[in-house]
Amino acid sequence: MKYRELEKLVEQWIEQSIITKEQGMHMLANTAAEEDSRKWFVKLLPIFASILLALSVLTFIASNWDVLTAEFKLIIIFVFLIGFYGAGAFVYEKRNKVWGIGLLFLGIISFGAGMILIGQTFHYVSYSAVVFCLWGLAAYLVALMYRNPFLVVVSAVIWNVGQIYSGSSFSTIHVGILVLSALGLGYLVFKEKKVLYSRLFTISTLLQWSILLPISFHQQEHAIWQQLCQYTLPFVIVALLHVIGEVESKPYRHPLKTLPIIGLYFYYVVNILLPDAFTADVSSSVIAVYVISILLLFTVSFYMKKKRQEPVSTLLEWVLFFPVLFLPNADSANYAALFMVILYPVSLLVQGYKTTERKTIRLGSNLLIVSIFTVYFQFGFTFLSKSLFFLIGALIVTGLYFFLTHKQKELFEEEEERK
């Protein structure tokens, strides 16, 4: 039912004393919220239009860039930059907020493109991702000024693209991007207390710290502090994010609790398929620092779970922090990782069946399927012919489907009987 139709009916029901005025207002508010949620795609159209306009302007300027003088290039850059920011601020305040955000987005794109084009014009060569660092900072400040989630996402994307560029081009992470993104997005998480910002902060942090791992595997001897940064800190950061998410049982902290563990799980899944990336020859002091750090964070996690009277099975997620990287050879590390990626989904299923949590059961079921196929692909190609490989794979899929659906059906029937 449309909002206007319901509004007329509510007025009649109030006059006839069928419902109270407060009940009518509550019904109208719920209907308005539902209609707003259905119009989310329409609200994104101005942003899509601004993206297409930005691409059009950039391609036109790029095709004629070489024939322009340096002075005229600077004029074009600053005209577009000031024009888009100014128009965006005006439209946001006076006209339409969505169109205003679209124009501000064009201003952010103009800022980054302007820095790159100025560098090309004056033949400035940078051997770091400083352009992305400043570009992301500018986008973040605009997002902070207008408190707009889309612009926050834009700033996070710029920072993460810059970090990936730094890792692929210079074989290092950019400390400025790492610090600014952590402080900026972390501030929004605890200030705004929104799930979106928690997800963004967690994914951004995991992505940037994970860049260290593949880089380090191609290096030779390192100082101890370098080994700590490359082999210890990424995993300690994952554990720290998880513990921060456990401190309070609030919705906005849930991504901090779950995403790091899931990310670590998939890290091991990938490494099982690429076993050469598993072991690292590091100093014993580095291993000691890692073990002590993980044990301290595990103690905090254990205390929080005990305080909330959570089942002991939830502690099995910490098996993923077993120091696989520091095992003496690739084979032992590979088998340890196989055990971990099987045990974690099984622990989720045990926990889900005990607490009758559908989300936990669904997550455990999906991850168990991933784990079984990871193990199967790891060994199947080696020991089986192709036809037998696919046949057994089909049987495994069928068996898993019937087993998991049967267990879920039993659980949900028991839940309905209790109600």
* Of residues 262 and 69, more confidently modeled: 262
Two structure tokens written together for 123: 């033949």
Determine if residue 19 is left, alpha or beta; phi over 0 gives left, psi from -120 to 50 gives alpha, anything else beta: beta
Q: Span 70-97, mean pLDDT?
A: 86
Question: Is it the case that residue 44 has pLDDT exceeding 80?
Answer: no
Task: Summarize pLDDT for 204-240 with one digit per residue, the tens.
Answer: 999 998 887 766 444 445 578 778 888 889 999 999 9
Instruction: Name the one residue in this structure whose structure tokens are 């501030």.
Output: 187
Task: Count the Cβ atoms, other than its own, within 10 Å of residue 231.
Answer: 25
Round to whole Å and give the CA distance between 193 and 372. 37
Q: Span 390-414, mean pLDDT?
A: 68
DSSP state, residue 128: S
pLDDT confidence of residue 34: 52
pLDDT confidence of residue 102: 84
Question: Domain map of the chain by residue range?
Answer: 222-419
The pLDDT confidence band at residue 43, using thresholds 50, 70 and 90, is: low
* Of residues 160 and 365, more confidently modeled: 160
Question: Is it the case that residue 400 has pLDDT exceeding 80?
Answer: no
Side chain identity, residue 243 = V
pLDDT confidence of residue 160: 96
Picking from 263, 238, 264, 242, the residue whose alpha carbon sits closest to that of residue 254 is 242
Side chain identity, residue 352 = G
Q: Span 389-414, mean pLDDT?
A: 68
Round to whole Å and give the CA distance between 41 and 31. 18
Round to whole Å and give the CA distance between 412 and 418. 10
The pLDDT mean for the chain works out to 81
Contacts 24+ apart (CB under 8 A), 86-95: 92/146
Instruction: Name the one residue in this structure whose structure tokens are 């192709």.
Output: 386
Lowest pLDDT segment from 28-37, 124-133, 237-246: 28-37
pTM for the full model? 0.79
Round to whole Å and give the CA distance between 1 and 7. 10
Question: Is it the case that residue 149 has pLDDT exceeding 80?
Answer: yes
pLDDT confidence of residue 37: 47
Backbone φ and ψ for 125, nearest 5 degrees, come out as: -110, 125
